[in-house]
Amino acid sequence: MRKVLIARGIQLILVVLGLSTLVFFLLRLSGDPALVVAGPDATPEQIAAIYAKYGFDKSLIEQYLRFLLGLVTLDFGRSFLTGEDALSLVVSRIPASASLALVAISFAVLVAIPLGISAATRPGTIRARVAQGIALFGQSIPSFVLGIVLILLFAVRYPIFPSFGNEEPLSIVLPAITLSSFIMARQLRLVQAYAIEEDRQGYVRTARSLGYSGLRVRYRHILRNVLVPLVSLLAIELGTVIGGAVVTEAVFAWPGLGRTMVGAVTARDYPVVQASVMLIGIFVVLVNLAVDLLYRRIDPRLRAETSV
């Protein structure tokens, strides 16, 4: 356990340094933010004042060292557009993105696990065909197309769910289904593939020969071994969904982190972009740490390897 924590601590430091360097210099190549802040009709004196205010008149190395100092103290500066503290602005968007991601992933898991295991242990049945259809559909249709179709059906034609924002509890239903479609398809294929492999193992045949019910064999024995690769996939998806649900958030006007990042990148709002990327990077590393610890809870073999 201690080795895992030390390794992840070192990884977190390296990720922070790497991301900070990459984001800082890439943003400087994207254009002059002073022109965005000052507007197209700004005078040279106004632009010079903005350079002095935000430190753009310093050398690139001085700006980078100043940025690293702010990173240590979690001070990313203020948004060029709104004047708000960049970190506070980004943190205020995390609950919306996190709630959308968790609902989407939970919905995908609740469908993918039982359907994938059932399709693997009962090939050729209607459930197996439904599983193949869902996997194909989820990986084929673009999320923005699915989102628009859901809005037309369940917000316009049949006004059951709200089509934008997050003011109402049911507002999360359509964006969560849209976001979960591709996640569900990948999870379904993974669960089905690993469940087919586990179903051929000797311990499964032994359990059935002892008279165990099919339900117990599937969810007490097969599922336990399928959970290890599934948890790994979930960790990757949770990290990417938090900061990558840009299209879904744009279609449904969901006030999350992805939508905020797109606006900040377009406006060259350096502080907001830097704060967003850094928080997402740290979150991904922490999620990977939680997954490593969860592995050892699920699979006793990993606990044995750690103790050796």
Confidence (pLDDT) at 149: 92
Confidence (pLDDT) at 122: 76
Whole-number Å distance between alpha carbons of 302 and 85: 43
Whole-number Å distance between alpha carbons of 39 and 30: 17
Which residue from 2, 82, 63, 91 is spatially nearest to 283, judged by alpha carbons?
91
**pTM attached to this predicted model:** 0.76
pLDDT lower than 50: segments of the chain? 304, 306-308
- Which string of b and e fits 223-239 if b means at least 16 CB within 10 Å? bebbbbebbbbbbebbb
Q: How many CA atoms lie within 13 A of 213 on its CB side?
A: 4
SS3 labels along 130-141: HHHHHHHHHHHC
| Alpha carbon distance, N-terminus to C-terminus of the chain | 11
Do 112 and 187 meet the contact criterion of CB atoms below 8 Å apart? yes
Whole-number Å distance between alpha carbons of 217 and 215: 5
Place of tokens 């977190």: 12
Which residue from 107, 80, 65 is spatially nearest to 241, judged by alpha carbons?
107
Confidence (pLDDT) at 153: 92
Confidence (pLDDT) at 97: 86
Confidence (pLDDT) at 308: 46
